[in-house]
Structure 1
Amino acid sequence: MRKVLLAIACVATVMGAANAANAAEPLAVQNSQSTTRAEVLADLEMWDRAGMNRYPSEVGYTDVKLNADYQASLSEYHRLRSGPEFQQAVQRLQTKLGNQ
């Protein structure tokens, strides 16, 4: 019985770690796309503009998802990331970085 419980605990730990690692991966990595440096920096800019840099990581602090301000900032990040602001930032950064 003890071995069964230990095996269950090990599987649960591995599954939890795999899920946490997958959640922490950038969107481009999850989609198996290559990402330019300008895109990464533009994404970080949108993250900061939305105010997401004020909150701890969801991975270590799962309760942060319950915060209404966090949810508002996350919605704003998604809006910025999918809107023209992101593309404008990418173009600006590509010019600045020289298409690195």
Structure 2
Amino acid sequence: MTNLKKNLFAALLLATTTMAVNAQPHASTVSASAAASTNIADVFGEPKSRAEVRADLALWKRAGLDEFHSGENTPDTFSREYRVAYAEYVRLRTGPEYKEEVQRQSGL
């Protein structure tokens, strides 16, 4: 009887493992060289220096976007005030202010 229980348990384990494996999506057939050529920069962009991150945060605050976040509440990104502040942040981030702030943050 003990062997019967062991065999039933083994069969059940095999069946559930097979079901779990079959439920997984199949990986696409990508060559190893193509997979190895994927760079983290391709996925996330170029890494930022500490000065660049701090400059970005400073411009985010300068635009007033920090005022829209309080605790766990998310801001109303569709409000006119938020969109105006976000447009100002984008203007600062894409303008010469960003380069100036990076230089200031890096102590140059």
Q: 2:74 aligns with which of 46, 56, 61?
A: 61
Work out the percentage of aligned pairs sharing the same amino acid: 38
Aligned residues, how many?
Answer: 66
| Shift >4 Å, 4+ stretches | none
The answer as to 2:41 corresponding to 1:31 is no
The answer as to 2:96 corresponding to 1:88 is no
The answer as to 2:62 corresponding to 1:49 is yes
Kindly indicate which of the two structures has a greater share of residues assigned to helix.
1
Taking only aligned residues, the RMSD between alpha carbons, in angstroms, comes to 2.4
Task: With a CA cutoff of 8 Å and minimum separation of 6, indicate the structure with the bigger relative contact order.
Answer: 1
CA drift at 1:33: 1.2
TM-score if structure 2 supplies the norm length?
0.53
Does the C-alpha gap of structure 1 residues 69 and 36 become closer, same or farther in structure 2, counting only changes over 3 Å?
same
Distance 1:93 1:68 in 2: 31
The answer as to 2:65 corresponding to 1:72 is no
Distance 1:85 1:38 in 2: 13
Structure 2 counterpart SS, 1:65: coil
CA drift at 1:95: 1.8
Superposed CA deviations along residues 26-46 of structure 1, whole A, max 9, x for unmatched, are xx9x63311100000000000
Distance 1:84 1:45 in 2: 14
User: Which has the greater radius of gyration?
Assistant: 2
5+ residue gaps, structure 2, are 1-40
